[in-house]
Structure 1
Amino acid sequence: MSSLEISSSSYNQETKLPLSPPLVEDSAFETLGKDVNEVEGKSKDIIKLTSEKLSIDEVSRLVISPLCGAISLFVGITRNNFEGKKVISLEYEAYLPMAENEIRKICIDIRQKWPVRHIAVFHRLGLVPVSEASIVIAVSSAHRAAALEAVSYAIDTLKARVPIWKKVWDVFEDKT
């Protein structure tokens, strides 16, 4: 299991807005009582590769910002069929150091292409049963176009570049 939070470039925000409770563990108590200009000054890239069940709500909450009017999500779930066979689950493996590094590079690419605020990429490892999420990507931005385009780019690029491998378990295969 691995979890990584990366801070990225920031915007200058003049208007003071009420703080919402911090959602990232590392900064839970550091942000209380600070000026919004300080708190909202840093954009976040949150990357997590985990064997735990993914929470769509948790990932979407991590990218909320009072500076943003849009959050776009991509949720990839295990479907019950593949190439005409009944699927019972998927299994994911990753080369963690390289996978995290490649996802970090994708976040950098996104920030060079679109004016986004926060990016969260969570990918599940191990067995993922039918109807459960294997990946959740969330991006926040001031306007919808940037968030939508960034999420689409993130999933397409992740599938092409990141060393995460998928094994399809169907009813004809024995997992022992």
Structure 2
Amino acid sequence: MVCEIDCAVLCCYPFKMLEVVEAASIFMTYFLIAISFLVVMSGIFASMFHIISFCRYVNGMINEIGELSNRVCRLEDIEARVAQLRQSQLSAADILNRLVVRKREREIYGYGAIRNENRSWHAGSEYEEESDDEDDDDYIYEQSEYDIEEYEEYEEDGESGKGDESDEGSDKENRGSHVC
């Protein structure tokens, strides 16, 4: 049976074997290239995923920095307003202190008191209503029509007895409080 093998088959067998091995090696090469390509692509996709997540992280940090910058601007604005309020409070306290000092000085020296260049006080009149003038000029005030009508109504109420005593008292107080 062995004798029946054709000599031509035996002669071609090594060449066919080389073709099969060569084809297998080419297939394995392409297979390895394909696997390598898939590994590289998966690596690229993985790295792209990491790159995208890193970009999102950087974007979030930029947004947080913007929010912090806005907060800093608001805090600087609030600081400026607080400084303004502090300055106005100091001004108000200074004015209040001046008023308190003036009130005390008026109680001590009178309303017409003045200071000269040496900061010494010259006492004035004791009451505010008294004149600080040294001359005895008379001042004449004209009465308006409204004052005349009011005076006539007051006289009519007083003569007829219709006016209340409380109204008369308040009229007297109101007339006494007018400053000319």
Task: Give the alignment's TM-score, normalised by structure 2.
Answer: 0.18
Bigger proportion of residues as strand: 1
Q: Which has the larger radius of gyration?
A: 2
TM-score by length of 1: 0.18
